[in-house]
Chains A and B, each alone.
Chain A
Amino acid sequence: MRRRQLLKALGLGALASVLPRGRIARADEVAFPSRIVFFVTPHGHIPKGWNIDIPGASANAYAERSLVEMSEANFSEGLRPFYAYRDRMLAIEGLSHTSVLADIAEIGRTTGDANNHSVSVAGLLTGSRALQRSGSPCSGGIRSIDQEIAARTSAPGRFGSRVYGFDYVPNQTVAPFSFLGAGQATPSVADPQTAFADLMGFVKPSTTGPLSREQTIATLRPSVLDTAAREYELLAPQLGAEGKRKLDAHRALVRDLELGLGTGLTAKCDPSFDANGHQVVQFMRLIKLAFSCDLTRVATFVCPVPETTELGYPADATMHGTYAHGSIENATACGAPYTLTAERAMIDLDKWHAAHLMELLNGLDSILEGSGTVLDHTVVVWLTELGTPTHQHHDAPVVMIGGCNGAFQTGRYVRYPRNLPNPMKGFPLTGPAHNRLHVSLLKAMGQPDTRFGMANATAADGTTLSFQGPLRELHKAV
């Protein structure tokens, strides 16, 4: 019986909903794999609608507040949708996309596409300098964090990752966020039916009795792949170094697919899919399906910017052009005037994203696994392209929900002080670099790395900013 159900049976249901979670599995319990979801949304949060006050705490020092003891009414509007998961939640205020700031500062000293959106998109999951190509928007300069984890957790019969979602098109640049390597966007599937077919491609048909001719042919798919893979092995050595590298990479992926088909689906999961409802909701179901069948342990989803009408705003407005830049009082971007309507629109956008993310959280929490649920062994990380919709990078709130096998001390609102110099001259002080969050995520996924992306950067005042080490406060024991 699940712990929560047990407590409810004992008449302790109220307590059950607020127990701090995320402890390591008991020694007698089977270890369950850790999974991670990157839920990425364009723009950023509105501090006024997202931040939670920490009474009595100084802004100049690290501070935290227990979410478990808070009432729903005291939650900020942006975080309130997650109230039911407050025991397994970490809300982090004060992180900075410092690598993006450092990159923009460096582009200023050299050349390149310095568009705030392009550089953010390139840097959010890479924490690295962007790759600049002549006449093209910049793109990721290294393998992104999701693909790094994917590369280390993939196995025969299991996709390294699934990347789903939509291109975000501000100023008509394409924004993929996830990269296989420098300048190589990870292919993203934007059609739920195709994504479902991809997942089921690994599922062996259940058969009893002799195979039909078509079934026999289907069982030979790995053999066909092996035939092709052999051709790559033989041709590659005849080519120049770059050609050989390309064919070797191709061959490795053919072998992966071959092994995947040969392995088949072993998990006790329900490979069905409800293709109704909003596309975003369908993708949330697909991630749930992929995790429940252990078809992958890493998922990245890039949320679309909805049409304004979806949020009840006029059809001739756009979230980006009409509202984003004027949504924060005294901190507007691009000369746009601040309006209450713009602020409200961007808070509503946040809530729209949160409501869809809840579909995933509820889905993962509905799958029993050991004495808990899949959500207890997962961390869902909500990252935003910019810190706020007004093009700033130095203050980027993060929401993480899920037990992740006890990797994080959840149930808290965590606030970092902004006391580090900024790589951009004349820009505000910052909190820790988001590279260190990536290190923490690697740590949560069992990886020993002490850095990810840039190791350090130089602030405008000449100070060296170190991006190394995890954010210890997220992991510390109570």
Chain B
Amino acid sequence: MSALHRSKRFVIGLAALAGIVGASCYAAPEPKDAAPTGPGPAPLRRLSNTEYLNALHDTFPALAPVLPILPADALVAGFENAAEAQEPSDVRIARYEAIANLYAEGATQDTAAVVALTGCADITTAGTQSACASTFIDTMGARLFRRPVSAAEHDRFTLRFQAFQAAVDFEGAVRLTLSAMLQSPQFLYRPEAVPRDRANGAVVAVEAYAMASRLSFFLWESVPDQTLLDAAAKNELSTVAQIRDQATRMLADDRARRVFWSFHRQWLGLDRILGDEHGVRTPEVDPSWSTATQASVSKESQLFVENVLMGGGSFRDLLLSRRAFLDTEMARLYGVPLPTDAAPWSEVALPETERAGLLTRASFLAALSHRGATSPPIRGNSLQLRVLCKVPMSPPANADLSQPMAAPGSGPQTNRVLFETRTASSTCQTCHVNLNGFGFGFESYDAAAHFQRMDNGIAVDATGAIHGTDVNAKFDGAVDLSERLSKSTDVHQCATSQWVRYAFGRETTDAEAKLVTDLSKSFFTSGGDVRALLADIVTAPSFRLRRVEEN
């Protein structure tokens, strides 16, 4: 059975055709093949689009060329870095070529730029140019390939450099050689050297430079810095203590904000609001909503996640903190006054009783709404799928997915009552007892995430019920729900499993199940200390060790 088919799958919607009463709403994990103990597979990973663009930015910080759009990374369970889905395409290769040429052109735009790029003080004579070419290939190659250039690589690129120089000139050769390096697999992929004298399948330590890349692409979503490469050169990335020290250093670096945002953006869909379907809200919901609002909504979440975690905050703070960074548009949405002299994206505290962390912010609430109305089942479904890692079944084929409307003559009703009526049958309740249980708790926020006490002229009822977790209880409103979920071991287990998946670029194996459980216990005990969790992940055997693979 292939790895793909070993994965858990949705339980289906078709069951409804035969009557699903009594059926589980969640996919039962399929029995996996007996996996070998030790580290799971280490598939070849391509740089995700985010990693690729960060790597270019960090290597050429002075350049900011206008780039063509890369084809989107294929999503697996919401994540953009799944190795199994990183197939090349003609469009991607064309974009890599165009982008390599743009950076190579920018980095060599004049003699001063070439001098700066190569670090060669003198490039005026044939002799100095030859020496400079050799240095350039070694230094630029080491930065882009994240390890010393091999002698064979040095010779190959030198031959090409000389041919390019003969066809154009020295500076042109720098430009063309750089472009070739930027399109080479040593840059675009993360091949890991393995000892040639070990048998296929043998477990070995991840090679030092590969370890530097593993750390930097996970914790910074970019290339290693010189400190990491120096540590690799001295073989100081092998013990748990050495790796933990590096991780601690890296997580204190500003580049760590990238992983904090990227992970939560992908896990919780915090950029989903940017989709075209959210460009509009009906006038009744929000006459001022515009495409600028979409961007502000996503930015607000980004600043929240980055500042909370960079400031030493925890996963629980992400669920509970009232800190917010608002521009005037977000202040309007949240009904919060900004100081008149406030700079854009000023920090304010949100009203204690109205909002808490991410589950009460617009990037979650509005992105899971229709343009004219909220959908409690969609909000409830997303919470279960993302925050509790419960893969739900599809709606039955004959489910009515349209917006429920009050029957003529029945008088005004709340959205909640309309959905209660729509999903009242025992068949619907099989799943909707959970979906509505969570979803109704968000009814204090309309489709544009405004806080509302009245819906359709009737007082909002935002009571709900948590089912299927270790913190099952009735609750009142999303702030209460957030507080309860922040105390859930299930929620911490889910977050941990997603972090591990993100770190490895693949699903975990059966043999790694205990690792995830142990990590999540520590994560819960630490009060949701994200930094500690990431340090635990990078020092785990699956991150430090790999198998020898022959083809």
A binds B: yes
10 more contacts with CB within 8 A, not counting A133-B9, A134-B391, are A134-B9, A135-B8, A183-B84, A201-B94, A213-B169, A223-B167, A224-B100, A225-B183, A230-B156, A335-B398
User: Do B272 and A172 touch (CB < 8 A)?
Assistant: yes
Interface hits, A200-251 → B, CB 8 Å: 201, 213, 216-217, 220-221, 223-225, 227-228, 230-232, 234-244, 246-247, 249-250
Known A136-B76, A220-B176, A334-B400: A242·B185 in contact at CB below 8 Å:
no
Interface residues on A, range: 35 or more
Q: Which residues from 146 to 187 on chain B have a C-beta closer than 8 Å to any C-beta of chain A?
A: 152-153, 156-157, 160, 163-164, 167-169, 172, 175-177, 179-180, 183-186
User: Is the beta-carbon distance between B397 and A224 smaller than 8 angstroms?
Assistant: no
Is the interface on chain B under 10, 10 to 19, 20 to 34, or 35 or more residues? Answer: 35 or more
Residue of B nearest to A257 (CB): B93
Is A256 an interface position by the 8 A CB rule? yes
> Contact at B167–A185, with CB atoms within 8 Å?
no
Interface presence of B101 (CB below 8 A): yes
Q: Establish whether residues B91 and A198, one from each chain, have CB atoms under 8 Å apart when the complex forms.
A: yes
CB neighbours of B395 from chain A (8 A): 115
Residues of B within 8 A of A (CB): 4, 7-15, 17-18, 27-28, 30, 43-44, 46, 68-69, 71-72, 74-78, 84-94, 97-98, 100-101, 152-153, 156-157, 160, 163-164, 167-169, 172, 175-177, 179-180, 183-186, 188-189, 191, 272, 275-277, 280, 282-284, 370-372, 385, 391, 394-395, 397-403, 507, 549-551
Asked if B400 contacts A336 (CB within 8 A), the reply is: yes
> Which interface residue of A115, A160, A250 has the most chain B CB atoms within 10 A?
A250
Contacts of B11 in A (CB 8 A): 111
Is A385 close to B, CB under 8 A? Answer: no
Q: Given A189-B91, A334-B401, are A228 and B168 neighbors across the interface (CB < 8 Å)? A: no
When distances are taken between beta carbons in the complex, the residues of chain B under 8 Å from A358 are: none
Q: Is A132 an interface residue (CB 8 A)?
A: yes
A-B contact pairs, 26 of them (CB 8 A): A111-B28, A113-B12, A115-B13, A118-B394, A135-B385, A169-B276, A172-B272, A180-B89, A185-B74, A187-B71, A187-B91, A217-B172, A223-B163, A224-B179, A224-B183, A227-B157, A235-B191, A239-B549, A239-B551, A246-B88, A249-B87, A321-B403, A322-B402, A325-B400, A325-B402, A391-B397
Q: How far is B4's CA from A133's CA once the two chains are assembled, in angstroms? A: 7
Q: Which of A100-108, A411-419, A464-472 contacts B (4 or more CB under 8 A)?
A: A100-108
Are B12 and A114 in contact (CB-based, < 8 A)? Answer: yes
List the B residue with the shortest CB-CB distance to A108: B14
Contact A216:B168 (CB < 8 A) given known A253-B88, A334-B399, A334-B400:
yes
**By the criterion CB–CB under 8 Å, are A224 and B9 in contact?**
no
CB of A254 within 8 A of CB of B183, answer: yes
The answer to whether B94 and A107 have CB atoms under 8 Å apart is: no
Chain A residues, CB < 8 A from B18: 108
Residues of chain B lying within 8 A (CB to CB) of residue A197: 68
- 7 nearest A-B pairs in the assembled complex, by CB-CB distance: A335-B400, A240-B549, A243-B44, A187-B71, A108-B14, A135-B77, A187-B91
**Which residues of B lie under 8 Å from residue A185 when comparing CB positions?**
74
Tell me whether A172 and B275 are in contact (CB under 8 A). yes
Kindly report which residue of chain A lies nearest to residue B95, judged by CB atoms.
A187
Within 8 A of B (CB), among A280-303: none
Q: Are A171 and B401 in contact (CB under 8 A)?
A: yes
- Chain A: minimal CB distance from B214 (Å): 15
- Least Cβ distance of A104 to chain B in Å? 6
Which residues on the B side are within 8 Å of A22 (C-beta)? none
Residues of B within 8 Å of A243, CB to CB, are: 43-44, 189, 191, 549, 551
The answer to whether the Cβ of A47 comes within 8 Å of any Cβ in the partner chain is: no
User: With a CB–CB cut-off of 8 A, which chain B residues contact A425?
Assistant: 17
For residue B109, give the distance in angstroms from its CB to the closest CB of chain A: 12
Name the B residues within 8 Å of A426 (CB-CB).
17
A17 to B74 CA separation, bound complex (whole angstroms) = 47
What distance in Å separates the Cβ of A183 from its nearest Cβ neighbour in chain B?
A: 6
For B91, the chain A residues whose CB sits under 8 A away are 187, 189, 198
A228 to B189, CA, bound (A): 13
Which residues of A lie under 8 Å from residue B157 when comparing CB positions? 227
Is A458 an interface residue when CB atoms closer than 8 A count as contact? no
Interface of B is mostly: loop
Residue among B101, B549, B551 with the highest chain A CB neighbour number at 10 A: B551
A243 CA to B46 CA in the complex, in Å?
10
Flag whether A329 is at the interface (Cβ < 8 A). no
Task: Output the least CB separation between A305 and chain B (Å).
Answer: 10
In the assembly, what is the distance between CA of A134 and CA of B87, in Å? 19
Contact, CB under 8 Å: B68 / A246 = no
Pairwise interchain contact A335-B44, C-beta atoms closer than 8 A? no
Asked if A315 CB lies within 8 Å of chain B CBs, one says: yes
For B168, list chain A residues within 8 Å (CB).
Answer: 213, 216-217, 220
User: Is A116 part of the binding interface, using a Cβ–Cβ cutoff of 8 Å?
Assistant: yes
Produce 1/0 per residue, A177-206, CB < 8 A to B. 000111111111101001001100100000
Q: Among the listed B68, B77, B152, B176, which residue makes an inter-chain contact with A134, where contact means beta carbons less than 8 Å apart?
A: B77
A233 to chain B, nearest CB (A): 10
For A333, give the chain B residue with the smallest CB separation: B398
Residue A29 at the chain B interface, CB threshold 8 Å: no
Smallest CB separation, A338 vs chain B (Å): 12
Establish whether residues B551 and A237, one from each chain, have CB atoms under 8 Å apart when the complex forms. yes
State the Cβ distance, A327 to closest chain B Cβ, in Å: 12
- The interface residues of chain B lying within 8 Å CB-to-CB of A263 are none
Separation of A95 and B406 alpha carbons in the complex (Å): 39
A110 interface residue (CB < 8 Å to B)? yes
- A194-B69 contact in complex given A112-B9, A115-B13, A254-B183, C-beta closer than 8 Å: yes
Assess whether B191 is in contact with A134, with CB atoms less than 8 Å apart. Answer: no
Task: Confirm or deny: A318 has a beta carbon within 8 angstroms of a beta carbon on chain B.
Answer: yes
- A183 vs B77: C-alpha distance when bound (angstroms): 12
State the CA gap A326–B153 with chains docked (Å).
64
Whether A194 pairs with B27 at a CB distance below 8 angstroms is: no
Nearest-CB residue, chain A, relative to B272: A172
Cβ-defined partner of B14 (8 Å) among A114, A134, A221? A114
Q: List A contacts of B284 (CB < 8 A).
A: 316
In angstroms, how far is the closest chain B Cβ from the Cβ of A22?
A: 31
Residues of chain A within 8 A of B97, CB atoms compared: 221, 224-225, 257
Taking a contact as CB atoms under 8 Å apart, the answer to whether B402 and A334 are in contact is yes
Given contacts A187-B91, A257-B94, contact A220 B14 (CB under 8 A): no
Contacts of B169 in A (CB 8 A): 213
In the complex the two chains form, is B46's CB within 8 Å of A133's CB? no
* Contact of A235 (CB < 8 Å), options: B89, B94, B185: B185
Contacts A135-B77, A169-B277, A321-B403 given; indicate if A235 touches B186 (C-beta within 8 A).
yes
Please measure, in the bound complex, the distance between the C-alpha atom of A261 and the C-alpha atom of B180, giving whole angstroms: 15
- Let me know if A375 is at the binding interface, CB within 8 A: no
Nearest Cβ distance between residue B537 and chain A, in whole angstroms?
20
The complex places the Cα of A237 from the Cα of B385 at a distance, in Å, of 40
A131 close to chain B: CB less than 8 A: yes
Distance (Å) between the CB of B409 and the closest chain A CB? 16
Given contacts A105-B14, A242-B43, contact A315 B74 (CB under 8 A): no
Smallest Cβ distance from A226 to chain B, in angstroms? 9
Whole-angstrom distance from the CB of A149 to the nearest CB of chain B?
A: 15
Alpha-carbon gap, A230 to B172, bound state (A): 20
Task: Tell me which of B72, B191, B394 contacts A113 (CB under 8 A).
Answer: B394
- Write out the residue numbers on chain B whose beta carbons fall within 8 Å of the beta carbon of A105: 14
Asked if A254 contacts B93 (CB within 8 A), the reply is yes
